[in-house]
């Protein structure tokens, strides 16, 4: 429901500048994910959008209107944090309705919105329980439900799933994706450390680095066309392999990047690199071979299916030519010749 624009936005805490000039537009109804190393300013930027932190300089616009000094409750924003702060003595239903009650909504309206949010998140059967009677994932869904009932223009999530176990993360991730489809004109900004969450939920991902925007694009843009070694190494798991020296020079670059799934095992004499398997990780569906080729770090080679190469196996490897990433000494892409 709202388009969000940041223009030369900066934030300092005392003498420490943590947001160093961010220009970013988040489109109406878009699902934008912020990623970046710990301490790069993701939460701070989110809190500035929410109005929980002041903006040192620059402009924050909602639908073209400057909101720098608009108080949080007037911004039409709902925020869900990593730790779900539910009121322990209130039932789920009361927790979800509390904000609306404060805002003066009628009982009828409160009941209707709680019921709708509960249906969306499949927590209808939990409405009469206390928070302590819920699992972590259920509690986090109640926290999300409470945010929905406030009928926000903008949804902000700061690592909402990071306290959940793997199965619950997947289930709740699905709920959030569904929520985005159902509330398709609500703008969502989502901070995460999780590669899968970023890649699967985002319309676009914004990679932040040390208080600045490093790259913004669709998940596949960032995965296939990173505009720096930083983004190449940050997006994707396992991390992109990087090679330098003669191995890179052969391809006309300072650093050569190649993802683990883009390296083939080939016959003797047909490889570009040779090495020995020193470690293997079997994930069931696929496996990762760590191959020592005499570079700074072992190459990680991803193989579909069962593990088929034991430690000590000698391999000939060849990168897929169309998937090479070539970077110059500054870490920027070498233009394709
Ligand atoms: N209230 C504050 N006072 C002083 N410094 C702060 C304050 N809040 C955050 N910082 C600093 O601002 C920087 C950015 O912090 P922020 O919490 O935004 O990082 P983040 O990207 O969310 O990190 P993480 O991934 O670990 O959550 C950090 O160096 C942090 O120490
Ligand atoms: Mg944070």
What was the pLDDT predicted at 205? 98
Taking only Cα atoms into account, the Rg of the chain, rounded to an integer number of angstroms, comes to 24
Evaluate whether 10 touches 17 at the Cβ level (below 8 Å): yes
Q: Coil, strand or helix: which one is 200?
A: helix
| Full set of structural domains in the chain with CATH | 4-203 (3.40.50.300), 238-327 (2.40.50.140)
The pocket around ligand 1, CB under 6 angstroms, is made up of 13, 16, 18, 36, 38-44
Mutate to test the pocket of ligand 1, among 38, 39, 193, 198 (most ligand atoms within 8 A of CB): 39
Distance, CA 161 to ligand 1 centroid (Å)? 19
Whole-model pTM: value is 0.91
Ligand minimally distant from the alpha carbon of residue 47: 1
What was the pLDDT predicted at 103? 80
Nearest protein Cα to ligand 1, atom 30: 39
Helix, strand and coil percent figures for the chain, each rounded to 5? 30, 30, 40
Provide CB contacts within 8 A for 69, sequence distance 6+.
none
CA separation for the pair 188, 172 (Å, rounded): 16
Evaluate whether 207 touches 226 at the Cβ level (below 8 Å): no
- Tell me the helices (H) and strands (E) count for the chain, helix number first: 9, 18
**String of DSSP letters for 59-101:** EEEETTEE-TTS-GGGTTEEEE-SS----TTS-HHHHHHHHHH
Distance, CA 198 to ligand 1 centroid (Å)? 20
CA separation for the pair 252, 337 (Å, rounded): 10
What was the pLDDT predicted at 288? 96
Nearest Cα to Cα of residue 83 among 127, 142, 123:
142
List the chain residues with pLDDT less than 70: 1, 336-337
Residue 133 falls in which region: left (phi positive, over 0), alpha (psi -120 to 50) or beta: alpha
């Amino acid at each position: 429901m709202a388009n969000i624009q940041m223009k030369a936005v900066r934030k300092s805490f005392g003498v420490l500048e943590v947001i160093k000039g961010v220009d970013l537009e988040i489109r109406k109804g878009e699902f934008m994910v912020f990623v970046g190393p710990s301490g790069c300013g993701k939460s701070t930027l989110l809190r500035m959008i929410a109005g929980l932190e002041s903006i040192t300089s620059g402009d924050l616009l909602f639908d073209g209107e400057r909101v720098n000094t608009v108080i949080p409750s007037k911004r039409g924003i709902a925020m869900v944090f990593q730790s779900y702060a539910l009121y322990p003595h209130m039932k789920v239903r009361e927790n979800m309705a509390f904000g609306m009650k404060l805002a003066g909504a009628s009982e009828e309206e409160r009941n209707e919105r709680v019921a709708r949010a509960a249906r969306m998140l499949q927590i209808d059967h939990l409405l009469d329980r206390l928070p302590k009677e819920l699992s972590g994932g259920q509690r986090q869904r109640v926290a999300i439900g409470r945010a929905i009932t406030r009928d926000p223009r903008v949804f902000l999530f700061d690592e909402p799933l990071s306290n959940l176990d793997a199965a619950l993360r997947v289930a709740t991730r699905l709920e959030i994706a569904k929520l985005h489809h159902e509330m398709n004109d609500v703008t969502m900004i989502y901070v995460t450390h999780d590669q899968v969450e970023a890649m699967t939920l985002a319309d676009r991902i914004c990679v932040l680095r040390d208080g600045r925007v490093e790259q913004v694009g669709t998940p596949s843009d960032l995965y296939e066309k990173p505009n720096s070694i930083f983004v190449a190494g940050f997006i994707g798991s396992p991390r992109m392999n990087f090679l330098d020296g003669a191995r890179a020079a052969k391809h006309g670059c300072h650093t050569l990047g190649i993802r683990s799934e883009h390296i083939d095992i080939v016959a003797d004499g047909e490889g570009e690199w040779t090495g020995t398997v020193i470690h293997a990780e079997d994930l069931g569906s696929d496996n990762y071979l760590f191959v020592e080729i005499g570079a700074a770090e072992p190459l990680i080679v991803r193989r579909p299916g069962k593990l088929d190469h034991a430690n000590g196996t000698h391999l000939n490897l060849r990168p897929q030519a169309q998937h090479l990433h070539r970077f110059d000494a500054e870490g920027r892409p070498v233009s394709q010749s």
